[in-house]
């Protein structure tokens, strides 16, 4: 899977840099073309000539040492890469990358690349557990960086715990597995809905729900990485549009209905994660309602059931719904699957810790006409991957 892959290996200053030499050798033996960028501190542990001999490629360590006067070295290298591997990634490098600091060859190239970046941290166990490092790791995760977690064991500092750079063989296995699964949706057109809707009462008040859109945006970003052409229709959320995703912003349930119906034809997959209001005020006031002493009653009317309408209209589309439940989750999920003519439904108990609105994690049940599977508690990016892999597998048998 790594044959002819162009890999930039970033090596920062930790004792685990010696493993980066082994990683370079093994990647090269797999047929990859490896170009190494070293920080100044990394050279205190392993010499540049070692990496040059193992990779049979030039080693880069100085932003201003332009080897080709016709190009800009860090930009050309950033564009050249199919993927970026940081091993070892020290707390210092992680902190710089998380906060946009580009003060050497490695960090300037990292900020310039659009290739997938894999980070293999290595540091003292207490450093790895420090709140600032944890915060930086979470920030990078939200940016879409991928991680190869450090292992447990004896560390160079004398401590035993989590922080040891994962073994080169394991890193390569992770990369190969990612390569196998990366383009499973290549060429597919996917429509995803996300976030809440707002149903106005008057110019300053509305009914809504706590949906943040995190799950839908995670699905959109991962689907784009897997090669899909993604259209994301989102209610009001405070999230950045994932790279490569066409985003359409809406406000109300009727806005969502119109946009979804417009874009549904021609899609290969439609995933409806949006928490669309089931009811809206029967009357919307043109001016702000004034407070009164007596109680206020608001008459509500039903909104259009978008998912049911899609189930009625679908032809060849693979249609996936989400069911946020608080009780009898499987029973209600199965009912939704059947009554709305879905191909699959993703169910989560929003009353369970770590699975509710605004959480960064999710524990879901994948339920289709062919299969039912409970996934473990995962962060939403990983949950999105697992859902998309299952969609791809089921579509093979359609």
Question: What pLDDT, in 10s, does the model give residues 224-261?
Answer: 988 899 999 999 999 999 989 999 999 999 999 999 99
Catalytic residue status for 157: yes
pTM equals 0.66
Say which of 125, 157, 261, 395 is annotated catalytic.
Answer: 157
Mean pLDDT of 363-367: 92
308 among annotated binding-site residues: no
Q: Do domains 6-182 and 189-396 have the same CATH topology?
A: yes
253 and 277 in contact (C-beta within 8 Å)?
Answer: yes
Query: For the chain, what are the domain ranges?
Result: 6-182, 189-396
Q: Known binder of ligand: residue 385?
A: no
Distance between CA atoms of 98 and 59, rounded to whole angstroms? 24
d(CA 46, CA 19): 10
The listed range with the strongest mean pLDDT (255-264, 350-359, 372-381) is 255-264
Q: Tell me what pLDDT residue 178 has.
A: 77
**Does the annotation flag 322 for ligand binding?**
yes
Whole-number pLDDT of residue 161: 54
Lowest mean pLDDT among 37-41, 102-106, 132-136, 162-166: 162-166
Check whether the bond before 88 is cis (ω within 30° of 0): yes
The CATH code of domain 6-182 reads 3.40.50.1950
Residue in the block written with tokens 């293999």:
120
Q: Determine the 3-state secondary structure of 261 from DSSP.
A: helix
Chain mean position to CA 130: 24
The confidence score (pLDDT) of residue 159 equals 46
Question: Which of 25-34, 185-194, 240-249, 349-358 is predicted least confidently?
Answer: 349-358
User: Does the structural domain 189-396 have CATH classification 3.40.640.10?
Assistant: no
- Answer yes or no: is pLDDT of 292 > 90: no
């Amino acid at each position: 899977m790594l044959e002819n892959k162009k890999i930039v290996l970033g090596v920062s200053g930790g004792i685990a840099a010696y493993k980066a030499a082994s990683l370079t050798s093994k990647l090269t033996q797999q047929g990859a073309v490896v170009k190494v960028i070293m920080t100044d501190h990394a050279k205190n542990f392993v010499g540049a000539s070692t990496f040059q001999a193992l990779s049979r490629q030039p080693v880069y360590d100085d932003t201003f040492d332009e080897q080709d006067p016709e190009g800009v070295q860090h930009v050309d290298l950033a564009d050249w890469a199919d993927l970026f591997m940081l091993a070892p990634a020290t707390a210092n490098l992680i902190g710089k990358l998380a906060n946009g600091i580009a003060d050497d060859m490695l960090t300037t190239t990292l900020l310039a690349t659009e290739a997938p970046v894999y980070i293999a941290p290595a540091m003292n166990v207490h450093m790895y557990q420090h709140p600032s490092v944890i915060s930086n790791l979470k920030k990078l995760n939200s940016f879409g960086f991928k991680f190869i977690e450090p292992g447990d064991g004896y560390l160079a500092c004398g401590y035993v715990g989590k922080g040891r750079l994962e073994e080169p063989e394991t890193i390569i296995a992770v990369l190969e597995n990612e390569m196998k699964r990366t383009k499973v949706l290549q060429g597919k057109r996917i429509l995803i809905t996300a976030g809440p809707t707002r149903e106005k009462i008057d110019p300053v008040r509305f009914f809504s729900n706590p949906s943040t859109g995190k799950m839908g945006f995670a699905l959109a970003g991962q689907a784009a990485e897997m090669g899909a052409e993604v259209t994301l229709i989102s209610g009001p959320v405070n999230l950045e549009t994932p790279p490569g995703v066409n985003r359409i912003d809406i406000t109300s349930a009727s806005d969502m209905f119109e946009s979804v119906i417009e874009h549904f034809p021609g899609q290969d997959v439609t995933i409806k994660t949006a928490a669309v209001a089931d009811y809206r005020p029967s009357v919307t006031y043109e001016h702000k309602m004034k407070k009164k002493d007596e109680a206020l009653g608001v008459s509500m009317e039903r909104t259009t059931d978008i998912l049911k309408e899609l189930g009625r209209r679908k032809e060849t589309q693979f249609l996936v719904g989400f069911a946020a439940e608080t009780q009898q989750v499987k029973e209600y999920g199965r009912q939704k699957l059947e009554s709305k003519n879905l191909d699959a439904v993703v169910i989560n108990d929003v009353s369970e810790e770590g699975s509710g609105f605004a959480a960064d994690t999710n524990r879901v049940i994948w339920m289709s006409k062919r299969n039912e599977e409970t996934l473990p508690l995962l962060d939403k990016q990983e949950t999105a991957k697992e859902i998309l892999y299952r969609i791809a597998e089921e579509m093979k048998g359609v």
